[in-house]
Amino acid sequence: MEQFKTNANEIIARLARLQKDMNSVKEQIEDITLTKDDLDALEKAEEEFNSGETISHKELKKSLDYGV
């Protein structure tokens, strides 16, 4: 009977650790999930890039360095 109680306590402790780990994973997933606004902004940026409305990082840096 004592062995059963020990095993049950070990199982409960493991389940508690698993729950803590699952909560952590859930928070991380929520942090990386894109919202509709994020997706809309990405779509707009892609459209601007494809139509040539954007400049490269190098060109932007150059224009900022020279105040063009």
Domain count along the chain: 1
Task: Give average pLDDT by consecutive 10-residue segment, the chain, 68 residues.
Answer: 81 95 90 88 93 89 80
What pTM did the predictor assign? 0.45
Domain span including residue 40:
2-66
Whole-number pLDDT of residue 44: 95
Q: What b/e sequence results for 26-36 when a residue is b if at least 16 CB atoms lie within 10 Å of its CB, and e otherwise?
A: eeeeeeeeeee
